[in-house]
Structure 1
């Protein structure tokens, strides 16, 4: 589920004493919305910069989706995000140098997909049964694909060479469950227990050719392509985490399906999986058992070795990410929320663990 938040850039490099004496020191989140465009976080001393000046709701991408594009000249790097207004939910792009925002999409009633293609400099998205791509610089838009009436599905990911979109198809019966029970606490167990078929698929971004990869009577979800291997697609068996061996991969050419991590004890959970930047490791939140001992664990895709970074209870987060250098984890904190999340304090954390060791070990 996507989390709505005010988009801000948290710089761990600029501390309170480095040229920031003139800026306000504020408790981040104390005001909603925060009145200042820049401030020094009262708790950490970090400089916070607001990137989106548009009034209304602005949404970041889901935690494993890349929203950034490098600059092509001297104008500044760019970031794509969602903006909600009375006219609808649209994609915008902000120049990180000038902080000026521009709309990317037309006023569709609903836009989803949020897939940035940095080489093509396009953003792929979906409205209804139609998939579009808009060029970030020229704003030229093209129709990529229209799902047929008997295969209404959603795109969620783009492969490393930017030739294939991927996603999952669900039955009309599953869609009715979601429609009838819109709250996650209501639909989550119902969909899991229904054991309805889902199908993984790819769509060629140039030809529109669709390839149905794999069907299972399981809640196939959280579909992500490897950032480096164009043929490797990761997906999960969604459901209560203590009941599923969640994390899987499929080769889009051979259709070979592999389990990434098998649970080892009762009530173990592992999830919110994501690829390392080099595509060699899949990292995930692991608890042995749920709510007791916390890890960020990575499975080496070549040899299956697992590496664990143990966290204190108050360091745990709902979602994690890893720096491009692969030397630091960061997390989004956690709040008291329904299972499988134990109550913890919310906030941004830098774990500061070195995670580039090639041998399985604990830090």
Structure 2
């Protein structure tokens, strides 16, 4: 007997609030679970702006209805609105394949080899560009003035490369070793052909546009951190000038997971000094020129960090040490506190915690599969001194 097709959900459908709250057993901090559906939901990668409607709403990705679509979450009421309408069995919106404009009520996303623009008010969408079958594109990001969408075009991986079953593509190391010819491009939001800003034979990802400087972005040489020659790079889109940020002039320095501060000038990152068992973990910051940097020991392992500036950092621990931690500047270094346990598996990229400080600095959004499926959580930051030490 043939099974019934899963009914497609409709664009504009409003789901009632799914928010549930509970108290962390160790820190006694209240955590809000914002999504509660029998499928994976996740917030954007922590380097990407997800907010619209004056910051009241947040775009997220979900597999509801057995399809991949974007949804909008009202952070005040908890109501969820379906924003796109891709049907079950189609490619749908690529996870981590979307961004929101800083200046317009508009989002941009990948689906079925196309880059689309989505009006977040009337939910109309338009195709900006369709790419050839022999390439793929990395996560898009918007310029600060809202005029362009930037991303990397990468040749489709060679067929002989083995496939990582958790990602559906070659491993990070195999992609790095293949030295693909990558192009950083931008496309006007009105559509058109990509303008090449930079190209080279190196695996490039993480194009992060400054939230305040329309012509400035960072990108990274991707691959296993211990093998990459120079991770962080800056690019001026007008002059096409490229420069290293925080020069790695020693094999004993490995860094990554760079992100912009809210001022669009400073950059945070983390890494290790040294190799092997004697390596020391640190968090660092620099300006985008890369001319000066500061790095500070962080005694507890974190897979990612995020912050609005230097004063307060959030880290996400590891699968073996599953805590969200806070690190406050004390004038010389950082004091650590446990915020809550996240219980996340880190099994796939969508099931990474990726904690993101909210724009007002009063809360942290993160993803966890603590209840089985990946869901989105919000924890408000209490008085720092009320928390147990990390």
Question: After the TM superposition, which residues 227-306 of structure 1 pair with which residues of structure 2 at under 5 Å, given as runs?
Answer: 227-244=211-228, 245-290=230-275, 292-302=279-289, 304-306=291-293
Once the two structures are superposed, residues 125-171 of structure 1 have per-residue CA deviations (whole angstroms, 9 ceiling, x without a partner) of 11122111222232122222222566653452111111111111111
Q: Equivalent of 2:298, from 311, 328, 338? A: 311
CA distance change for structure 1 residues 227 and 273 in 2, over 3 Å: closer, same or farther? same
Contact 1:83 1:92 in 2 (8 A): yes
> 2:319 maps to which residue?
335
Q: Equivalent of 2:72, from 93, 100, 105? A: 93
1:217 paired with 2:204, answer no
Instruction: Work out the number of aligned pairs and report it.
Output: 308
Cα distance in 2, alignment partners of residues 282 and 133 from structure 1: 28
> 2:323 maps to which residue?
347
1:120 paired with 2:104, answer yes
> 1:176 maps to which residue?
159
- CA drift of 1:321 comes to 0.8
Q: Which runs of 5+ in 2 are unaligned?
A: 1-17, 335-390
* Aligned alpha-carbon RMSD (Å): 2.5
TM-score, normalisation: structure 1: 0.78
Q: Which has the higher contact order (CA 8 A, sep 6+)?
A: 2
Contact 1:195 1:218 in 2 (8 A): yes
Contact 1:271 1:284 in 2 (8 A): yes
CA distance change for structure 1 residues 349 and 117 in 2, over 3 Å: closer, same or farther? same
> 2:23 maps to which residue?
40
Cα distance in 1, alignment partners of residues 49 and 107 from structure 2: 11
Q: Equivalent of 2:189, from 200, 205, 212? A: 205
CA distance change for structure 1 residues 177 and 83 in 2, over 3 Å: closer, same or farther? farther
Q: Which runs of 5+ in 1 are unaligned?
A: 1-34, 337-344
> 2:3 maps to which residue?
none
TM-score, normalisation: structure 2: 0.73
Cα distance in 1, alignment partners of residues 289 and 245 from structure 2: 11
Contact 1:265 1:289 in 2 (8 A): no
> 2:129 maps to which residue?
145
